[in-house]
C-alpha cells in the first residue's frame, strides 16, 4: 500500500517549531556573549598586566602600541615587554616576553594556554621549560614530550616578540 502524502501542516509545524527554538537559543547565546565579553577582556588584560609585573617587578610601563617600555621608578630604562601569541595544539598560546634594552630575552611568561591539553600542553607554563628562552636568538628548543605543538607555539610567540623588537625598537 502506498504511503500517504504528508500534508503541508505536518511539514510546517515541526519546521517552524525548530526554527523558533533555534532562534530563541541563538538569542540567548548572543545575550550571554554580550554580557560576558567585557569581563573576559578585562580578565585577559589583568593577566597580561600581571605577566608584565612578574617580568619587571615595580616597573612603570609605557604602552607604545606594539610593545610596552619598562622604566624603573627613577626613570631608568629596564627593557621592553612584547605580548604575542601563536597557535598551539588546542588554540592560541599568548605570552609576554621581557627583553633587556639590547633585545636579549630576560623572561617569558605564558599569559594564556587554556586550549592546551591539561597535564601535557599546559606544561609550557613550567619554569623549567621557559628558562631555555633566556638569552638570545632562538631557532630550536627542547620541547615537552607529547606537547610538540604547544612547545612550538611558545617558540613561535617568542620569536614574534624578537621580530617586534627588531622592527619597532632596534631599527
Phi, psi of 161 (to 5 degrees): -65, -40
Q: Model confidence over 80-139: pLDDT tens digits?
A: 999 999 888 888 889 999 999 998 999 999 888 776 666 666 677 778 888 888 876 566
Would you say the pTM of this structure is higher than 0.75?
A: no
Higher per-residue confidence, 150 vs 28: 28
Gyration radius of the chain's alpha carbons? 24
What stretches of the chain show up as alpha helix (H) in DSSP? 8-55, 127-130, 148-164
Domain boundaries defined on the chain? 1-171
Amino acid at each position: 500500500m502506498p504511503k500517504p502524502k504528508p500534508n503541508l501542516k505536518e511539514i510546517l509545524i515541526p519546521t517552524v517549531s525548530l526554527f523558533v527554538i533555534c532562534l530563541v537559543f541563538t538569542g540567548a547565546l548572543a545575550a550571554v556573549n554580550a554580557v560576558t565579553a567585557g569581563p573576559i577582556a578585562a580578565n585577559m588584560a589583568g593577566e597580561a598586566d600581571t605577566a608584565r609585573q612578574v617580568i619587571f617587578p615595580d616597573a612603570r610601563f609605557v604602552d607604545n602600541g606594539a610593545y610596552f617600555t619598562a622604566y624603573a621608578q627613577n626613570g631608568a630604562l629596564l627593557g621592553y615587554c612584547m605580548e604575542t601569541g601563536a597557535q598551539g595544539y588546542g588554540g592560541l598560546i599568548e605570552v609576554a616576553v621581557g627583553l633587556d634594552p639590547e633585545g636579549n630575552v630576560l623572561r617569558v611568561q605564558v599569559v594564556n594556554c587554556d586550549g592546551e591539553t591539561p597535564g601535557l600542553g599546559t606544561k609550557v607554563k613550567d619554569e623549567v621549560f621557559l628558562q631555555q628562552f633566556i638569552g638570545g636568538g632562538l631557532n630550536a628548543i627542547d620541547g615537552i614530550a607529547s606537547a610538540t605543538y604547544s612547545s612550538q607555539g611558545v617558540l613561535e610567540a617568542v620569536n614574534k616578540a624578537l621580530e617586534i623588537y627588531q622592527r619597532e625598537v632596534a631599527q
